[in-house]
């Protein structure tokens, strides 16, 4: 089992843009626009999800949902356990 403090770390301290980059072709289409990384929202498929670097959350300006790293992985088709396991590996890679 993962502790809630560990889950907080992978939500907050692992930048979503790093996750998107590492997911490579698995990741939704993304592009920097006016200094913010925008990507195709996995919930509504509109190109309106924008990452707020201050809280490391993506907000979709179409469906109005907030998306964190774990939400993103689950929307991409991973179950919770695999989502966390992959994010844990990415966190190690990021901290290197
Ligand atoms: Zn959306």
Domains, the chain: 4-90 (3.90.580.10)
Ligand 1 centroid to residue 91 C-alpha, Å: 25
What is the average per-residue pLDDT within 51-60?
A: 96
Question: Does residue 14 surpass a pLDDT of 90?
Answer: yes
Q: Averaged over 35-64, what is the pLDDT?
A: 97
pLDDT at 15: 97
Q: Name the phi and psi angles at 51, rounded to 5.
A: -85, 130
How far is ligand 1, taken at its centre, from the CA of residue 29, in Å?
13
Per-residue confidence (pLDDT) for residue 1, from 0 to 100: 81
Ligand 1 centre distance from Cα of residue 63 (Å): 4
Q: How far is the CA of 44 from the centre of ligand 1 (A)?
A: 4
Distance CA 85, CA 28 (A): 20
- How many Å apart are CA 58 and CA 39, to the nearest integer? 9
Query: Ligand 1 mean position to 32 CA, how many Å?
Result: 17
């Amino acid at each position: 089992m993962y502790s809630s403090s560990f889950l907080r770390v992978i939500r907050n301290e692992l930048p979503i843009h790093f996750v998107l980059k590492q997911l490579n072709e698995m990741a939704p289409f993304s592009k920097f626009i006016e200094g913010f990384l925008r990507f195709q929202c996995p919930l509504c498929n509109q190109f309106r999800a924008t990452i707020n670097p201050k809280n490391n959350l993506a907000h979709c300006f179409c469906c109005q949902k907030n998306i964190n790293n774990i939400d993103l992985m689950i929307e991409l088709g991973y179950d919770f356990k695999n989502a966390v396991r992959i994010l844990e590996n990415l966190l190690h890679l990021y901290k290197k």
